[in-house]
Amino acid sequence: MALWALAASLLWRTKVPADLHLPQLDESGLFGQRVVAEGVRFDRFFEIEWILATLAGLAVLVVTVRRAPRFVRSLGLGSVNAGIITGVLVATVLWAVSVPFDIASSWWSRRHGILQESWGTIIFSPWGALLRGAFMTAIVLAVVLLLAKRFARRWWVPASAIVLALALLVQFVLPYVQRIGTHRVRSPALAAEIRRLEAREHVGRPTVRIVPMHSQTSAANAFSIGVGPSRGVFIWDTMLDGRFTPREVQFVVAHELGHLERRHIWKGIAWGGLIGIPILALVASVTGRRGGLRNPAAVPLAFLTLSVTGLATAPLVNAVSRRYEAEADWMALNATRDPAAGRALFKRFVVTDLQNPDPPGWVRVFLEDHPSALARVEEAEAWRRLNR
């Protein structure tokens, strides 16, 4: 526990001054009452839907836990094969329960002009997700159940090592996959500014690509992924459609480069180990009361345990993410020395993405992995006051 606390405290540190005082700004005066009301109304739908979807998923898992023994006996298969089939069935039922909520989300976003996809894509795309999910569930369960067969209740030890190795592999390979269908920065002015920001933030020369998203959504976004030579920054083309000024786009790029400079991908993997390994150990302990994962009827209980612990650890996971996002904002402020651009960017995001600039506390705790738009504007203002 002491080592865990030490590692967590080291990972928690950022370059944002610990004694930074954020000014208390009025959201209505800053964003406008109409804009705030629209953001609150738009987000409230997703907040209610998340509660209903979470309760529905947990209810389904409770039912499958109760009915699993009879189902497993009816299969008449070996423990590993029976466990894989049971797990794929559970994953499929969870998918089926989630589909109405996903379609409702798409309807709401489409109604407000955020989602641009056709109804045909909305209706049929979940089937691809089902196939991918079933395949991945089968592979993961095959590995875990074979480990459980070999190591009994200590299967989580080698499983943790495998999961961390896979996380590193995914972060290395994913940027190359993400580049498919993208293109280089075509604006000479933006390309030159990106080179300047890379030198200022000491991040080397990560790949920067433009992602065509205008046919799917009107929302604007950017993200950074990858480790080592695969590091990259990906900018949605909706950031470059004229709604955002060049200074605002530069701030976004500086923010993403800040993630790379502060090694947030590596730190995220480390946090994944700190949080994920105890969760796997807990799954082994809980399922151990029903014979462990050598008993295929315990597989739904493993799903339920993962869901409950995921919900319980969401506040910590989101707090870490918000902290790193705030640090990336701070890095962007230092690199651009343009708090006005940051302030304007966050205000514009509220309008273009229909954000609630200051969501309720429980929403921030369980759902928000970024600081609120209000908090980000306040950070930009705090930086300005420190550096004027």
pLDDT value at residue 327: 98
Q: What's the pLDDT tens digit per position in 212-258? A: 999 999 999 999 999 999 999 999 999 999 999 999 999 999 999 99
Q: What is the pTM of this model?
A: 0.94
Three-state DSSP class for residue 209: strand
Query: What is residue 303's DSSP assignment?
Result: H
Distance of alpha carbon 319 from the chain centroid: 12
pLDDT value at residue 388: 79
Sign of CA dihedral 113, 116, 119, 122: negative
Q: Which of 114, 50, 52 is nearest to 363 (CA)?
A: 50
pLDDT value at residue 20: 92
Residues of the chain with pLDDT under 70: none
Q: For 142, phi and psi rounded to 5 degrees?
A: -60, -45
Q: What's the pLDDT tens digit per position in 28-84? A: 999 999 999 999 999 999 999 999 999 999 999 999 999 999 999 898 888 899 999
**Partners of 328 in the β-ladder:** none
pLDDT value at residue 153: 86
**Partners of 210 in the β-ladder:** 183, 235
User: Is the CB of residue 180 less than 8 Å from the CB of residue 211?
Assistant: no
